[in-house]
Amino acid sequence: MGSITRGLSNNITTGGVILPAGITNASVADVTSFANASGGTLILLSTQTASNSASLSFTSGLDSTYDAYEFHFIDIDAGTFAAKFEMNFSTDSGSNYNVTKTSTFFAAYNDQTGAGNALTYRTSYDLAQSTGFQTLMEDFDTTSNSGSGSGAGSMQLFNPSSTTYVKHFISTCHNLRDSEYAFSNYVAGYGNTTSAINAIQFKMSSGNFDGTIKLYGVKKS
């Protein structure tokens, strides 16, 4: 038995699974992909890019495959001063975005001079059994001296396919707000429905927007 054969046999189980010690950079140098290799926790399902768009809607991918999903917001940029980035759920594959929601919203902020800063509850952006759109990022700055401004963040949605429980969501975002504030927004709540949520729409409260939104499934253990 050669040394290569002995090395392989010492690192493979009776079920045919190669142990981590049996795989090195040299041993896989010419391999371009592993069809059944285990990846990270997040599985990228789809990517949509807004370019002066009124909205982005995800009407597929939210199903029972995963127990939790994440949306990542990258370089979201409003076309209208003080517009707010919003979302709403659908239980009819996107025909209507009007799920009843109850939520809580608070913000931490600081301006560029350091003179204006606070941690505050934002009663105007929370919802109490409302079918309206939920604000995730508030009051974008689109003035000429803040042309490089944008927003970014993420939102988690838990077990949207459940027909037993309400649908919890948690969002953490940051953007350059009007008057050149660094604004961090924290939102959490639930869609008060036992119907499966199977679509979601993102838009601005007014005007169009640019940016990229990625949908990930959180891999089951």
DSSP codes of every residue in the chain: --HHHHHHHTTB-TTSPBPGGG--TTTTTT----TT----SEEEEEEEEEEEESEEEE-SS-STT-SEEEEEEEEEEESSTT--EEEEEESSTTS-----EEEEEEEEEEETTSSSEEEEE-TTT--SSB-SPEEEE--B--SGGGTT--EEEEEEEE-TT-SSS-EEEEEEEEEEETTTEEEEEEEEEEE--SSPP-EEEEEESSS-EEEEEEEEEE---
pLDDT at 192: 98
The CATH 2.60.120 domain(s) of the chain lie at: 38-218
pLDDT at 180: 82
CATH code, residues 38-218: 2.60.120
pLDDT at 176: 87
* pLDDT lower than 50: segments of the chain: 34, 144
pLDDT at 40: 66
pLDDT at 122: 94
Q: What is the pTM of this model?
A: 0.81
